[in-house]
Amino acid sequence: MGPGALAQVLRPFTQHAGPPELLVGLHAVDDAAVYRVNDQQAVISTADFFPPVVDDAYAFGAIAAANALSDVYAMGGEVLMAINLVAWPDHLDSALLSEVLRGGADIVAQAGGAIAGGHTVIDREPKYGLAVTGMAHPAHLLTKGGAKPGDQLILGKPLGSGLITTAHKRDLVDENDLQAAIESMIQLNRGASRALVQAGASIHAATDITGFGLLGHAWEMAAHSLVSMRIDYAALPLLPHVRHYAQLGCVTGGAQRNEEYLTGRVRISERLESVDRDILWDPQTSGGLFAAIEPTLWPTFEALAPDVQFWRVGQVTERVRDKAHVLLEVLSCTNS
């Protein structure tokens, strides 16, 4: 579901804050729900599932699991357990489903969690994902709101998974490019999340880049923080040959919905070609963490996460008085 339609569906429920222990819910929409158990512990709850994005059953399971776990990491938590969510056609070989579940279980184990159960239904199209339970310290949560003028914007994974998996569905992808995308999508955001949490008060806001694309999720952070942002297109990390697949027209319907929703709220440099715009709107599967950090942190940030790569991709420019004045700019290069 696109961001515009989703916002419309959820609007009647956003006025209900719930009990005070519900730190994050529909009244303060974020990447996952958070419920404070005590002064030291908060439970994180989230769910995500979707149809196959690759043909290999094991890889699909691993990708879907990593994508579902990412919301826990976007909130600064650790994974405790997960419940399988499966929709499966009754004519498909059950051995394929076993491979899907094995891929998911391996990723959850890598995250330090456990598969604790699940639910299956018969459907015309296979779908798989997880309902995930995590834990975090209430004082160390990462949330979308809180970005400040002058903050640096950093991104933890390259972009382009939607374009590459669409090219795969159309038999247009190079196998090396597909493998690079799969490796990126199954990479957990655990190390990146731990680095952000360790940085403490120097991290002002965080989210993960998934179905709304880079611009959709960046705009959400800007709107929650009541700030405007500027993104440097030339600094964005990209998966191999992504522009080529955009040139071939491997653009998803999700990308078009993202663009429609944000038209008028985003200003993109006229120097950027249509294929570059397609990359900016491209929905990501299991994308990287995106954060607003104090500029003084960046020179030493690598020491917090020596095994995790972040790219500096923009900055927060100014505070605004309401969401109507939030502006997201994309420049073709730093000095545009």
Residues 134 and 166 in one domain: no
DSSP 151: P
Q: How far apart are CA 57 and CA 10, in angstroms?
A: 33
Q: How far apart are CA 42 and CA 249, in angstroms?
A: 44
Residues 241 and 212 in one domain: yes
Full 3-state SS string of 168-214: HHCCCCCHHHHHHHHHHHHCCCHHHHHHHHHHHHHEEEEEECCCCHH
Which phi and psi (to 5°) does residue 227 adopt? -140, 165
Residues 130 and 214 in one domain: no
Q: Is 147 within the bounds of a domain?
A: no
Tokens, residue 230 = 């500027």
Q: Is 146 within the bounds of a domain?
A: no
pLDDT band at 51 (very low <50, low <70, confident <90, very high): very high
More reliable by pLDDT, 14 or 37: 37
> Given this model, what pLDDT does residue 276 score?
96
217 exposure class (CB count in 10 Å sphere: 0-12, 13-18, 19+): buried
Q: Is 336 within the bounds of a domain?
A: no
- Show the domain range for 234: 152-331
Q: Is 175 within the bounds of a domain?
A: yes
Cα dihedral across residues 246, 206, 189, 13: positive or negative: negative
What is the domain count for the chain? 2
User: Which H/E stretch holds residue 101?
Assistant: helix 94-110
Residues 54 and 197 in one domain: no
Express each pLDDT in 266-308 by its tens digit: 999 999 999 999 999 999 999 999 999 999 999 988 888 788 9
Could you tell me the CATH number of the domain that includes residue 224?
3.90.650.10
Could you tell me the CATH number of the domain that includes residue 42?
3.30.1330.10
Model pTM above 0.75: yes
- Range 233-251 average pLDDT: 97
Residues 114 and 159 in one domain: no
Percent with pLDDT over 90 in the chain: 88
Express each pLDDT in 145-185 by its tens digit: 999 999 999 999 999 999 999 999 999 999 999 999 999 99
Residues 102 and 207 in one domain: no
Residues 157 and 113 in one domain: no
pLDDT beyond 70 at 14: no
